[in-house]
Structure 1
Amino acid sequence: MRLRCAVLDDFQQIATSVADWSPLEDQVDVVSFAEHFADEDTLAEALAEFDIVVTLRERVAFPGSLLARLPRLKLLVASGMRNSVIDYAAAEAHGVTVCGTASSSTPPVELTWALLLGLARGIVEETNAVRGGGPWQSTVGADLHGRRLGVLGLGKIGSRVAQVGLAFGMDVVAWSRNLTKERADEVGAELASSMDVLLASSDFVSVHLALGDRTRGLIGARELALLKPTAYLINTSRAAIVDQDALLTALHEGRIAGAGIDVFDVEPLPADHPMRTAPRLLATPHLGYVSRANYATYYGQAVEDIQAYLAGEPLRRLG
């Protein structure tokens, strides 16, 4: 019997063209879903007849309650090698193998700078004015050279963001709970004595921390109040690191100059979500990982994972 594979959240309908799925054509039927299944009941119904599921990043949660409703599911492939929304113990209990793929740090670094530069130079406002016959030069750009960039998290992505900041002639300072002076020196950044010091002294703050118990809600109303009123906050990491309600309040009250946000508490954003209409906000629909090369890696390695599983030798197992 042929197996059925579901590819979730293929919004651009690109998954089956950006990688070569032909090695599976004799054994597996692949179905790509462009729509997002927002609740467990809808998801369980849609996936009931599938043996394999390919899911994108952490957009869709796979708790034990859902896995129990998918008796045919045997292989779950998640893009990336870290996923906090899969119940690995439940997957094992239900006989579901979980595998991952490689990913590149390049797309989120580039998007971070796209958001930062877009905010600093009022790109959206000025473009809309030019196209709509509005005022000529209505904003005054914020300089980068000589300004301070605060980087929260100096891992694979954060360190590259810091290096770009140095290339712009910025003063780069970094902080995370486990960051050492030696690591900061390697990148060319100054180690901040605390997160509070980084927030209070930076003109731009970019978040590049992994989401966990110690970072969930790390930046709340108190922390946002430490930022200069001329400062900008960029978050391409995880929405839950920054308190969403506190951020909305800061934007509406003009406590900070602006924010560039690529990650949200609910994705896709509902049509009436307050983030869609917040002032001083440059928002993108979680594009940090969305690039042709990254998709080719995700889906190409998803094919490899499926081939390996069918051969009885699973690759890149998670859990």
Structure 2
Amino acid sequence: MERRPYSEVDLTMTRLRCAILDDYLNLSLKVADWSKVEDRVDITVFSQPFASPEAAVSALKDFEVILAMRERTPFPRAMFDALPKLKLLITSGMRNNSIDLAAAKDKQIVVCGTHWPRDPTAALTMGMILELTRNIGRENARMHAGEYLQKHVGIEIDGKTLGVLGLGKLGAKVSAMAKVFGMNVIAWSPNLTKERCQEVGVGYATKEELFSTADIITIHMVLSDRSRGLVGAADLARMKPTSFLVNSARGPIVDELALLETLKARKIAGAAVDVFSVEPLPVDHPFRKLDNLVLTPHLGYVTQETFIAHYNQMVEGIDGWFKSEPVRRLA
């Protein structure tokens, strides 16, 4: 089937099919005003992840418009090749490493994004730190199970050292929060400068110094070829036996096998992980069996405010595309 670019299609006379992907919480139709485009698109919501790329192709082959939530459903070149009707893809956020933008351009598919109103991942990171050190969730579960006496002895973070990998907007926000809790903050990333550390008000450290001295290490870097596997076995081996690792960035930044072995051997006190190399995390993944690992299902961006912003901007994106005026265009 020959694909015609959107500029050559009479969209004023065409009613198209629109797929909303991976709406696990069934929020998309509740938090946005779809009346602005419902006269031009028929909407189908997919609330469960696809079992395989083949399943995704089978379900989506007749859709002209697809709305993606983060990297939950990948769009490599093979996916675009298998979706001949696709004309518009909108992703939440202005960066999505699971979308092959070059392939989309070759196929004359318009790709647009949405802006974040703010980044709630910083608050989640502090929550994960508090869970590791004060065991709030574990003790809550015990109370609901009928127990009362404390089982876990907490650790005060006041006066402890937080090591931040990545001092961009999010890393700086976490650093500010940590200092309110009385923590000392040091930072490192491959391109981090002492001037940037001074600007944020944190200490500069080498990678080796950060891993060997920090009581808690938190990761706030974008996944790229350079950052993939950035935290490996040698880095984990430098950590103190009393220290913790937090990853709310992207799973592949950490060597997951090395982290698994480190936690199984109890070479560090524990870890909290919100992101994984494969998502959703497989039911039989060995991470699920560790009692020194806090697991959350990629909650960093999962807030009511975030979904309201993204889905309403997706409506705006569809409307703009129909008017041949794509907004927040990525490809």
The answer to whether the superposition gives a TM-score over 0.5 is: yes
1:241 maps to 2:247:
no
CA contact (8 A) 1:63 1:86 kept: yes
Contact 1:129 1:136 in 2 (8 A): no
DSSP-derived class of the 1:174 partner: strand
In the alignment, which residue of structure 2 is the partner of 1:277? 289
The residue type paired with residue 239 of structure 2 is L
Matches within 5 A, 1:195-206: 195-206=207-218
Counterpart position of 1:59: 72
Q: Deviations over 1:153-211 (max 9, x none)?
A: 0111110000001111110001111112221112110111x111101100010000111
1:46 equivalent in alignment to 2:59: yes
Q: Is the 8 A contact 1:219 1:241 kept in 2?
A: yes
**Of residues 91, 101, 108 in structure 2, which corresponds to 1:88?**
101
Between the aligned residues of both structures, percent identity stands at: 47
2:89 corresponds to: 76
2:304 is matched with which residue: 274, 283, 292?
292
1:151 to 139, 164, 175: 164
- 2 CA distance for matches of 1:160 and 1:75? 34
Say which of 131, 140, 148 aligns to 2:153.
140
Question: Does 2:251 align with 1:251?
Answer: no
| Alpha-carbon distance in 1 for matches of 2:271, 2:216 | 9
Letter in 1 for 2:93: G
Superposition map of 1:1-319 within 5 A: 1-134=14-147, 136-192=149-205, 194-319=206-331
Provide the rounded CA distance (Å) in 1 between the counterparts of 2:151 and 2:142. Answer: 8
Conserved in 1, the CA contact under 8 Å of 2:164 and 2:220?
A: yes
Gaps spanning 5+ residues in structure 2: where? Answer: 1-13
Q: Indicate the SS of the match to 2:227.
A: coil
Query: 1:277 Cα shift?
Result: 1.8
Amino acid at match of 1:42: A
- Distance in structure 2 (CA, Å) of the matches to 1:282 and 1:155: 25
Shift of 1:107: 1.3
With over 3 angstroms needed to count, the CA separation of the structure-2 counterparts of 1:117 and 1:104, relative to structure 1, is farther
Q: What is the root-mean-square deviation in Å for CA atoms of aligned residues?
A: 1.1
Structure 1 residues without counterparts, runs of 5 or longer: none
Q: CA deviation at 1:135?
A: 6.0
State how many pairs are aligned. 318
8 Å CA contact 2:94–2:330 kept in 1: the answer is yes
* TM-score, with length taken from structure 1: 0.97
Give 1:295 shift.
0.6
Contact 2:49-2:72 at 8 Å conserved across structures? no
Take 1:19 and 1:168, find their aligned partners in 2: how far apart are those partners? 36
- Aligned pair in 2 of structure 1 residues 87, 13: CA closer, same or farther (>3 Å)? same
Of 102-111 and 213-222, more deviation after overlay is shown by 102-111
1:104 Cα deviation after fit: 4.0
- State the one-letter code of the partner of 1:55: A
Q: What one-letter code is carried by the residue in structure 2 that aligns with 1:169?
A: G
Report Cα offsets for 1:78-117 as digits up to 9, x if no partner: 1101111111111112121000000144310111111110
Tell me the distance in 2 between the aligned counterparts of 1:14 and 1:135. 37
Q: Secondary structure at the match of 1:106?
A: coil
